[in-house]
Structure 1
Amino acid sequence: MPINPDAVGATGAPIRHTWDSRDAMIYALGVGAGAVDPLQELQFTTENTQDTALQVLPTMAVVLSNGAAGAFGSIGTFNPAMLVHGEEAITLHGPIPVSGEIESIGTITGIYDKGKGAVVELTSTSTDVATGQPLFTVVMSAFIRGEGGFGGDRGPSGPKNVAPERAPDHTISYPTRTDQALLYRLSGDRNPLHTDPAFAAFGGFDRPILHGLCTYGFTGRGLLHLLCDSDPARFTSMEGRFSSPVLPGETLTVNAWTTGNGEATFQTLGSDGRVVLDAGLATFTEA
């Protein structure tokens, strides 16, 4: 059957996921940690230094939480090559442990008719199994081309988290590797769109593109260093909209504008200056 708009509110079965320090380090390397100023990022890439204890990048929440997978099956059938990532938001209730186990429950929180396609929003809440306390919440939306026109609500629209028309308060640039997608996929996202030229061509791309959540992770790294003095305990939330594909090998530039109340809007630019991650908002605990 096609997309089922009545699936809103459907909840998937709880899914458990475990990880350890090796997973944390692989994720950090997958989003470029250590490539620029490696001494600043030893706390995310190694556990065997005398001066730093291993910590977890906050954006690792997006690969740990898989509650959305449990709920996604209720929305109907579609061609997976027509799906593109729309938006991603994370809210953290504290630093992610270096190792642990979570239980994630996903819910379909919106299905919107955009005419040429459908937007599906899924919210996944993850709880630390050891403590019973919520660890983080992840909200993602996917745009599925060709699945609109069913007469449903168009959903939220219009600009949000608009960057000011002035120079950013903070900026940082990170190069990505030409094999960055091959590194990032080791954290679990094996979508062939990012590795198989034939599959990428079927989706309308000249060659495999970088995972949107890899761009998200690079951006989160930048925001962590720019806004939180590299302290994950101060990083509380991040949201953004994917606005343009990124090719492995591009340089990503993160620009942030602070508001003075523990919030900052941000954008991420590709090598040619186009915006690749837009409508960004980060919240953090001020020092």
Structure 2
Amino acid sequence: MPIDAVAAVAAEPRRAEIGWDHKDIQLYHLGLGAGSPATDPDELRYTLESRLQVLPSFATVAGAGTGMAGGLSSPGVEVDLAAVLHGGQTVRVHRPIPVRGRAVQTSKVAAVYDKGKAAVLVLRTEASDDDGPLWTNDSQIFVRGEGGFGGERGPSARPVPPERAPDHTVERAIREDQALLYRLSGDWNPLHADPEFAKLAGFDRPILHGLCTYGMTLKAVTDTLLDGDATRVTAYSTRFAGVVFPGETLRIRMWSGDGRIQVAVSAVERDDAPVLVDTLVEHS
């Protein structure tokens, strides 16, 4: 079997030194659609170096996203990348991410679950600097055709959808060039830029990165319910349920709770087709 679950989980973490500064933060935020209107004081905290804060979702691209790549190249993992789907993402920040920093990043396979027709790899990336832990990322990666090996199915608990109308609903337009800008933060998959490659993958045009939708959603929640203060976010999780195309509009529904905001995201132009589900923002 291409995935040896025991060997994958037992393997020593991959270690790498990473660094970033204000340019990396600004590029990431611009890739999420920040900066419109360009002179809006609320947008300048994402785009102007003298006022800059960092969305916690930046952790998914820090080091050009090498953490996930390190996990997929772990011993015991030999998969066809064409069979790989990004199923879900969780980021937990242990303190606010600094605008400029250096860190040691470790990546490993934290778990392998058997879903029958697919295996699920939980790729964990942790980063620490001289002051201690910064963030923990868990990426849930589905590998089609690799299930059925008799392993654990994994946790099945999911957030219970609220039975009331959303407390807030906002819409965010996706620029036609947004995937081209977002990919400069490190995800060079041609699926998001090359029309011919997208057709080979079964799409009539390039699709937006799921992690771009993930970041856009966190920014919308932060701006709408957290007074625009990204340092209040402590954890953010989602499950990817559908694709998004550049030029479409995201409809982002939010339900507030005690330190928790549940979120659902859909594509307006495709009859509210689900995009992000089981989405939860935890905050102080």
TM value normalised by structure 2: 0.91
Post-superposition CA distance 1:182-235 (Å, at most 9, x none): 010010011122122333233332222110000000011011112211112211
2:192 aligns with 194
* Residue 262 (str. 1) matches residue 259 (str. 2): yes
2:67 aligns with 67
In the alignment, the residues of structure 2 paired with residue 278 and residue 132 of structure 1 have an alpha-carbon distance, to the nearest angstrom, of 34
Q: CA deviation at 1:81?
A: 1.9
Q: Is the 8 A contact 1:86 1:141 kept in 2?
A: yes
2:180 aligns with 182
Post-superposition CA distance 1:117-151 (Å, at most 9, x none): 221111111102xx231111111111122222333
In the alignment, the residues of structure 2 paired with residue 212 and residue 102 of structure 1 have an alpha-carbon distance, to the nearest angstrom, of 25
2:226 aligns with 228
Q: Is the 8 A contact 1:113 1:155 kept in 2?
A: yes
Q: Is the 8 A contact 2:31 2:182 kept in 1?
A: yes
Post-superposition CA distance 1:1-34 (Å, at most 9, x none): 6122221243322111111111110000001112
Q: Is the 8 A contact 1:12 1:67 kept in 2?
A: no
Q: CA deviation at 1:37?
A: 7.9
In the alignment, the residues of structure 2 paired with residue 112 and residue 193 of structure 1 have an alpha-carbon distance, to the nearest angstrom, of 27
In the alignment, the residues of structure 1 paired with residue 264 and residue 37 of structure 2 have an alpha-carbon distance, to the nearest angstrom, of 20
* Mapping 1:110-125, distance limit 5 Å: 110-125=111-126
Q: Is the 8 A contact 1:36 1:174 kept in 2?
A: no
Partner AA of 2:47 in structure 1: T
In the alignment, the residues of structure 2 paired with residue 198 and residue 110 of structure 1 have an alpha-carbon distance, to the nearest angstrom, of 35
2:45 aligns with 43
Post-superposition CA distance 1:155-198 (Å, at most 9, x none): 2235x113212111122211001111101001001112212233
- C-alpha spacing 1:116/1:196, structure 2 compared with 1 (3 Å): farther
Q: Is the 8 A contact 1:171 1:226 kept in 2?
A: no
Q: Is the 8 A contact 2:38 2:44 kept in 1?
A: no
Partner AA of 1:133 in structure 2: G
In the alignment, the residues of structure 2 paired with residue 242 and residue 36 of structure 1 have an alpha-carbon distance, to the nearest angstrom, of 29
1:278 aligns with 277
In the alignment, the residues of structure 2 paired with residue 9 and residue 36 of structure 1 have an alpha-carbon distance, to the nearest angstrom, of 49
- C-alpha spacing 1:148/1:36, structure 2 compared with 1 (3 Å): farther
What is the count of residue pairs matched by the alignment? 277
Mark the runs of 5 or more structure 1 residues left unpaired by the alignment.
none
1:161 aligns with 159
1:76 aligns with 77
Q: Equivalent of 1:252, from 244, 250, 253?
A: 250
Partner AA of 1:140 in structure 2: S
Q: Is the 8 A contact 1:11 1:108 kept in 2?
A: no
Which SS does the other structure have where 1:149 is aligned? Answer: coil
1:3 aligns with 3
* Residue 139 (str. 1) matches residue 138 (str. 2): yes
2:239 aligns with 241
In the alignment, the residues of structure 2 paired with residue 196 and residue 36 of structure 1 have an alpha-carbon distance, to the nearest angstrom, of 29
2:89 aligns with 88
In the alignment, the residues of structure 1 paired with residue 29 and residue 170 of structure 2 have an alpha-carbon distance, to the nearest angstrom, of 17
- C-alpha spacing 1:172/1:36, structure 2 compared with 1 (3 Å): farther
